[in-house]
Amino acid sequence: MKYKELTIKYLESDQPTDLEPNDILLLEKAKEAAKQAYAPYSGFRVGAALRLNDKQIITGNNQENAAYPSGLCAERVAIFSASALNPGAVIESIVITVDTDQQKVTEPVPPCGACRQVIAEYEKKQGKKIRVTFAGETGKIIQVDSIESLLPLSFNSNNLQHR
């Protein structure tokens, strides 16, 4: 048996101005989207904004439901909307942030496991990496060049056995 080590490479910043101008705009759009989220149960509103290769920006926000598993995360709302409205478009970058009722979130809030899996699927589908940036309401911002940094050894279509 041989143990191996995975290394995660990411950028960390205390200032949004350290981001590329296009990603600063996405962060602003994600913040706007978060404020419009439907989160009456948790008060934890998440916003996502993504940029397509034609420079179009698509936003999404979390949508809660009294039957909790029936809700959907902001990232998946944005990605599925982009795919439904722009078949074949390539997602270049996605930014995720939050807006809360209780205390201010000062740590970056990364995508959940399901959203990581969806981002990985779209990276494979489009054959191009998607830059992922995430932030809290204030504080640090984290950015990775690809979901592979957040979901190494991911499950994908190569793992399916075709008969």
Question: Are the CB atoms for 75 and 58 separated by under 8 Å?
Answer: no
- CATH code, domain carrying 50: 3.40.140.10
Residue 23: domain span: 17-154
Angle in degrees, 0-180, between the axes of helices 113-126 and 74-85, rounded to the nearest 10: 30
- Per annotation, catalytic residue among 5, 12, 20, 75: 75
According to the model, what pLDDT value does residue 160 have? 83
Residue 102 maps to a domain: yes
pTM for the whole structure: 0.93
Position 160 in a domain: no
Residue 131 lies in a domain: yes
Name the one residue in this structure whose structure tokens are 């490479």. Answer: 9
Active site includes 75?
yes
- The verdict on residue 47 lying in a domain is yes
Residues of the chain with pLDDT under 50: none
pLDDT given at position 162:
65
* Residue 36 is assigned to a structural domain of this protein: yes
Q: Tell me, rounded to whole angstroms, the distance of Cα 59 from its chain centroid.
A: 11
131: tokens are 């830059």
Q: Would 12 be classed as within a structural domain?
A: no
The total domain count for the chain is 1
pLDDT of residue 163: 55
Instruction: Evaluate whether residue 66 is within a structural domain.
Output: yes
Look over the chain and give the mean of its residue pLDDT values, rounded to a whole number: 94
CB 160 within 8 A of CB 134: no
